[in-house]
Amino acid sequence: MASVLLRLRPGRMILLLLLVAGAAVSVFPFYWMVVSATHSTDQLFASPPPFLPGGHLLHNLAALQDSVGFARVVANSVGIAVVYTVLSSLVSTMCGYGLAKYSFRGRGVLLGIVLATMMIPFQVLLVPLFQMMASVGWIDSYQAVILPFLANAFGIFLMRQGFLGFPNDLIESGRLDGAGDLRIFYRIVLPSVRPQLGALVIFTFMTQWNSFIWPLLMLNTEDKYTVPVALNTMIGLTHVDYAGLMLGSFIATLPLMLVFLVFQKQFVSGLLGGALKA
C-alpha cells in the first residue's frame, strides 16, 4: 500500500488520503453503534470507552425483547413499510403516467397543485389529519398510518419525468393492436422506467420505515408500535438503556440496507438497459 501511494502524484495522494479519511469518519458512527450493541450500558461510559466488540450481545437482545417486544415491533414495521411502499409506488406511478401521457384540460394546473404540496410543512398537516382520522374512527389503526400519505408528490413528479421520455408512437401502436390502457401501461411503458421505479421504492420504503411523528400520534397500543416509536419508549426520565438502543438501532438499519442492495442492482440494470436501447 505504501509503495502504491509513493508512485502517485502529490495531488492524487492528497485526494486519496482525504477520501480515506472521509470514509473512516462516515463509517465510524456505524461501527460504534455495532460495538455498543455488544456491551452493557455501564461499559459504554467507562474510561476509556470500549472500541472492540464485547460479550453482552445476547443479553442485550433478550433485554430488548423483554422491554418492547422487539420481534413483534420489527414485524409491524416491515408489514407497514411493505404495504405502504407497494401501494404508494402504484399510486405515484399511475398518477405520473396520467400526467405525462394523457392530455386533458387543467393538466398543468393539477401538476402545479401537486408540486405545491411539497412546499407545505408536514407539521402544518398534523392537526387536520388527526381530526380526519378521529372522525372516521381510525385512531390506533394501521390504515391511519398508511393511507393518508399514499399520494406522494415527489413520487408522482419523479415518475412523470420518467414517462415523459417514452415515445407516444409505441403507446399508439399498442392501442392499434387492441391492447387496453392498463395492459399498455404494465406491459409496455412500465418496464422502461425501472431506474425511476427502483429509486422510488428505495425512497418510499426508507421514508415509511423511519417515520416517527405520525405513527407516534396514531398508534396507542404497544403491540402495534413501529420500530422508531418502540425505541423512543426506552428513553426514560431516570434511566436510558443505551446498549439496548444501539442494538435496536442496528437491527433497524438492516432492512434498509437489504432493500437498498436489492433495488440498487435493479437500478443499475435498468440504467444499462436504457443505454443499450439508446
Task: Count up the domains in the chain and report the number.
Answer: 1
Q: Are 37 and 243 in contact (CB under 8 A)?
A: yes
Q: Which domain holds residue 139?
A: 61-277
Q: Which of the two residues, 44 and 224, has the higher pLDDT score?
A: 224
| Residue 43 domain-assigned (yes or no) | no
| Residue 41 domain-assigned (yes or no) | no
What are the pLDDT digits (tens) for 180-191? 888 888 888 888
Burial degree of 182 (CB within 10 A; 0-12, 13-18, 19+): exposed
Neighbours of 48 (CB within 10 A): 5
| Residue 32 domain-assigned (yes or no) | no
pLDDT band for position 277 (50/70/90)? very low
CATH of the domain at 251: 1.10.3720.10
| Residue 149 domain-assigned (yes or no) | yes
| Residue 39 domain-assigned (yes or no) | no
Per-residue model confidence (pLDDT) at position 81: 94
Neighbours of 196 (CB within 10 A): 21
pTM passes above 0.85: no
Task: Specify the DSSP class assigned to residue 116.
Answer: H
| Residue 23 domain-assigned (yes or no) | no
| Residue 86 domain-assigned (yes or no) | yes
Task: Specify the DSSP class assigned to residue 49.
Answer: P
What are the pLDDT digits (tens) for 211-245? 999 999 999 988 899 999 998 888 776 677 888 88
| Residue 26 domain-assigned (yes or no) | no
In 3-state terms, what secondary structure has residue 240? strand
